[in-house]
Amino acid sequence: MLGAFELDPDLVHLNHGSYGAVPSEVRREQDRWRTAIERNPTGFFQDQLPDALRGMAAHAARRFGGCSDDWVFCENVTAAVNGVLQSLALGPNDEILTTSHAYGAVLKAMTLVSARRGATLKVADLPAMLEHDEQVIAAVGSALGPRTRLLVIDHITSATATILPVRRIASLARAAGVPILIDGAHVPGQLALDVSALGADWYTGNAHKWLFAPRGCGLLWTAPARQEITRPAVLSHGTDQGYAAAFDWIGTRDPSPWLCFETAALAHDAFGGKELMSRNRELAATAAGDLASELAAPVAGPPAMRASMAALLLDRRTGAAEQAAAIRHAFASERHIMVPVYGFSDALWLRISAQVYNTADDYRVLADACRTLLPRFGVGSCGIPGTIGTNRHR
């Protein structure tokens, strides 16, 4: 299946979760749209684009629930979150609530917006190694309060690749009268999604991670009751024309990633659709289990709380995370493996992805590289010296 993409066949690609991969047929569709734009920019932007965008929004609604008017496109989840944050009337007595697993860019945006408005950002602390949904429910439920004006929660966390119980969390938020924004950056193409069944006020996801769209294809769903106040962070000609119009036109930019949404979604279907998601989940679970045994590195979250990614805790030793970039570069330059290595919660982590072009051999290559490279950096699982590779046959 690697031949269906333009990925370098000499590399082992285990980082689909960060930047995705675009099938060749989808890239050709993007080229077709770009050519159409260049042939007649004036006619395209003034006459063709409005209907084309609304047509793609209708495809999003058919696939993910809701109505076409509820869906708008943006560059990515970060842009969508910033739009929602800027749309809220926050003041000195208000709080934004999130969790310690929030994505770094989103956390920074919430921090700055809160500071500028005199509001408070409150972070509910979750264990890095979550074991069950009740831990999340208890932490978020106890943190909701009379000053909470927005709850921002991940559907699948980036750092630990853990699925959070967003439907139950949304129910808690509704009972407390708190609007909820769900960050589903990793969900489209990795989990089945019906936004209308979640009870959220806003849901945002990226089609360019797991659904094979070109990069820059983010989506935002907004409940009808919240559309009157919701606008993009960049305000332009559509600002006073309503929710969808405001997002559809914020100035001249390349809309081709959004116009490829249908083609990308159909490519996902052609690769297996639901069966592909199930296959990827099983492959990621098997690979994570094998790597955990090989490296004595625990996996974040039980299998029921994971999908097509898994995060392994390599080392809790103080300062280990500072070596993350050097280790990642060693994997890439010496063993031709593209895999994220990063710091989170005072520990060093490695995250794997499973996509249609991956096989079990890819993770065996990674395990061998870990046994060779990690000891060079003094990395032992959970900070215990000499543990890398000692449980190979467990």
As a whole number of angstroms, the longest Cα–Cα distance in the chain is 66
Mean of all residue pLDDT scores within the chain: 95
Q: Is the pTM of this model over 0.75?
A: yes
Cα–Cα dist 45/158, whole Å: 35
CATH code assigned to 272-383: 3.90.1150.10
Nearest to 182 by CA among 140, 142, 217, 234: 140
The pLDDT assigned to 317 comes to 83
| Kind plus residue range of the DSSP H or E element containing 95 | strand 95-99
Cα–Cα dist 373/365, whole Å: 12
Contact by Cβ (8 Å): 292, 298: yes
Cα 165 to chain centroid distance, Å, stands at 15
Mean per-residue pLDDT, 214-241: 96
The pLDDT assigned to 319 comes to 83
Cα–Cα dist 14/339, whole Å: 5
In Å, what is the CA distance from 292 to each residue of 77, 167, 351, 356? 31, 30, 12, 22
pLDDT of 351 > 70? The answer is: yes
37 residue type, one letter: I
pLDDT of 266 > 50? The answer is: yes
Cα 158 to chain centroid distance, Å, stands at 6
The pLDDT assigned to 167 comes to 98
Contact by Cβ (8 Å): 149, 120: no
With pLDDT > 90 as the criterion, what percentage of the chain qualifies?
93
The pLDDT assigned to 320 comes to 84
Cα–Cα dist 89/113, whole Å: 11
Q: Of residues 318 and 56, which shows the higher confidence score?
A: 56
Cα–Cα dist 351/370, whole Å: 13
Mean per-residue pLDDT, 360-368: 97
Mean per-residue pLDDT, 225-252: 95
The pLDDT assigned to 381 comes to 55
- Taking only the tens place, the pLDDT of each residue in 291-322 is 999 999 999 999 999 999 999 999 998 788 89
Cα–Cα dist 363/384, whole Å: 23
Residue 362 banded pLDDT, cuts 50, 70, 90: very high
Cα–Cα dist 349/341, whole Å: 6
Listed as own residue / partner, the contacts of 28-34 with beta carbons closer than 8 Å and 24 or more positions apart are: 29/260, 29/263, 30/214, 30/256, 30/257, 30/259, 30/260, 33/255, 33/256, 33/259, 33/260, 34/254, 34/256
CATH for the 24-267 domain, from 3.30.1180.20, 3.40.640.10, 3.30.70.2170, 1.10.3720.10: 3.40.640.10
The pLDDT assigned to 386 comes to 40
- Taking only the tens place, the pLDDT of each residue in 164-222 is 999 999 999 999 999 999 999 999 999 999 999 999 999 999 999 999 999 999 999 99
Contact by Cβ (8 Å): 181, 200: yes
- Taking only the tens place, the pLDDT of each residue in 373-385 is 999 999 975 544 4
Encoded tokens for 6: 């333009």
What values do phi and psi take at 281, rounded to 5?
-65, -45
Laid out side by side, the sheet with 120-124 consists of: 71-74, 218-222, 202-206, 180-184, 148-154, 95-99, 120-124
- CATH 3.90.1150.10 intervals, the chain: 272-383
Give residue for tokens 């309503």: 242
Give residue for tokens 């769209």: 213
Cα–Cα dist 120/92, whole Å: 8
- Taking only the tens place, the pLDDT of each residue in 150-167 is 999 999 999 999 999 999
- Taking only the tens place, the pLDDT of each residue in 109-141 is 999 999 999 999 999 999 999 999 999 999 999
Mean per-residue pLDDT, 359-374: 96
- CATH 3.40.640.10 intervals, the chain: 24-267
**H helix runs in the chain, sequence order:** 16-19, 24-39, 41-43, 49-64, 77-87, 104-117, 133-143, 166-175, 207-210, 243-248, 256-259, 261-270, 274-295, 324-335, 360-373
Encoded tokens for 79: 């842009």
pLDDT of 25 > 50? The answer is: yes
pLDDT of 390 > 80? The answer is: no
Q: What is the DSSP string of 313-358?
A: EEE-STTGGGGHHHHHHHHHHHH-EE--EEEETTEEEEEEE--TT-
